[in-house]
Each structure stands twice: as C-alpha cells, then as structure tokens.
Structure 1
Amino acid sequence: MDQVTSDFTIAVHSLVFLAYLPDRMASSEEIAHNVCTNPARIRKIMSCLRKSGLVSTKEGIGGGYILSANPDEVTLAQIYRPVSQGKLKPNWCTGDPERECQISSNTQVVMDEIFDDAEIHLENYLNQMTISSVLEKIKQCR
C-alpha cells in the first residue's frame, strides 16, 4: 500500500504546488525539488495527471507543467483515480482457493470485497476535498 500513499501524496503535492504558482510553468526538476523526490518519478506521475486533463505540458526551454484545471473544482478523488485507483488491494494473496479448508479457500475473496468497498469509501471521502482546500490547510500551518 506504500505505492498508493506515496504516488497519491506526490500527485497532490505537485498539483498544490502548481496551484500555488498560478499561470506559471514548473519543470519536473523544480517540482521534484519541492516534493523531495527525483524528477523521473515526477514525470511518471505527471504523465498520469496529464492524460486525465489535470495538467498541461510544454517541452523545451521554459517548458514544464501547468495546472490546466480549476483548483477549486479538482477533487482529490480525481487525482487518486489516475494515480492510485486499484492499488489499495495488496498484491499478495492469503490462503489457497484450491484447498478444501473453507477459511483458506475463501479469505482472499472476502478480503478483495473489503478492499473494493474501502476504495469506494476512500474515493467518496476524497471527493469532499479539492486542491484549493488542501492549499488553504497548508497555508494555515504557519
């Protein structure tokens, strides 16, 4: 689940940073410096956000990323979906569906349902917050 948390957090941080710099391009190096990660990771995450229409890009000198959506309207769920949706469920499966033991053969099915429901609840919660609301909370931390 670390990948869900870190990719999502990096995506939110990056978009909040771009919202803080309205109408200005920021390079992957500049965003990476602010996020405290490497530019390649930023480019990977920003690619997902670009495909979702949340950022625009410009290549070359003076290029980079710019927020292409209204930060008052972009919810955290809109960021979560392209970056982390489906990753809440762990890759490792417990038990063995081929065993005769009811616990071993069915635990994974039930856990999958639990994680699917948890993701729905998480997205509903994230729909209540926007990039702007996160930026405002950050500004209140001073």
Structure 2
Amino acid sequence: MHISTKCSIAIHCLIFIYEYGESKKVTSQLLSMSTGSNAVTIRNILSSLRKEGIVSIKFGTGGATLNCPLNEITLYRIYKAIEPDFISKLIGIHTLPSPLCPVGRNIHAVLNHSYEKIQNDLCKSLQNITMEDIIRDYNQIGGTTL
C-alpha cells in the first residue's frame, strides 16, 4: 500500500501557511526550504490545493494563504486534491490470473470485495481528521515561531 509523499509535503505546507502566513509572505521558495522539497514540486502541490479551494495564491508578488477554515480541510480533501486517484492505487491486484483456474477466474471479485471495505474505512478515517486536529497536534508537540 502506498500514499504519495506529496501529501505529507502538502500538510507540511498547510501547517506552515497557517502558522506564518499572517506575518510572512509564504512563497514556494520559503516552503521549499522548510520541506526540503524542490520549489517546482511545491508550486505543483499549491496549484492542486488552490484548485480544490484550500489555499489562495497571490500571483506575481507571491504568497499563499488558507482559503477556508481548518475544520473544513480534511485529510481526505487534501489527498484527493494532490493524488485524485490515490484510493484506486492504494491496493494493487495482480492483472493476469489464469482464466482457466477456478481461483484465477474469481480472484479479482473476491479481492475487490475485501479491498473495497478497506478503502471505505480509510476514506472515512481521512474524512474525520482535519487540519484543525493536525495543527493542535503540531502545537502540542512543540511548534514554535520562526
């Protein structure tokens, strides 16, 4: 199972924007330094978050700000913005089982039934965690000002 690291980078960026966006111009370059990621990667992530309505970006002068309350930004919403088909890619099924074998003939239907439950549970869990929760955790763990 795999969820792209771009999603953790996006969450990192959102925490940074929330914590410092009022006092600093939060640019892709600044986020690049904070995350250790390439500025182009950051711009692509911010673009996806902007399309989802999570952030606003001032073009020209630069600077990203949150576009909605923290409690409206769920992990599911972030993941869907960054990796739209992450759920379907989460669990892979081998593609060429033998149609001549009773197990091979039925394995996709059997696994799809079980895997769908896992995917639904994951979606529900991701929908129940908001950036408000994550910011609270960040502050409890020791978030500090720059």
User: Does the 8 Å CA contact 2:52/2:81 hold for their aligned counterparts?
Assistant: yes
Match of 2:129 in 1: 129
* % identity of equivalent residues: 26
Structure 2: which 5+ residue stretches go unaligned?
none
1:53, distance to aligned residue in structure 2 (A)? 0.4
1:35, distance to aligned residue in structure 2 (A)? 1.3
CA distance in 1, matches of 2:20, 2:71: 14
1:22, distance to aligned residue in structure 2 (A)? 3.9
Match of 1:50 in 2: 50
SS at match of 1:20: helix
Give the residue type in structure 1 aligned to 2:71.
D
Q: CA RMSD in A?
A: 2.4
Structure 1 segments, 4+ long, off by >4 Å, are 90-93
1:16, distance to aligned residue in structure 2 (A)? 1.4
Question: Cα deviations across residues 21-62 of structure 1 (Å, max 9, x unaligned)?
Answer: 24354111111211111111111111111110001111223x
CA distance in 2, matches of 1:15, 1:8: 11
For normalisation by structure 2, the TM-score amounts to 0.79
CA distance in 2, matches of 1:85, 1:112: 20
1:105, distance to aligned residue in structure 2 (A)? 3.3
1:102, distance to aligned residue in structure 2 (A)? 2.5
Structure 1: which 5+ residue stretches go unaligned?
none
For normalisation by structure 1, the TM-score amounts to 0.81
Q: Does 1:111 align with 2:87?
A: no
CA distance 1:94–1:31, shift in 2 (3 Å): same
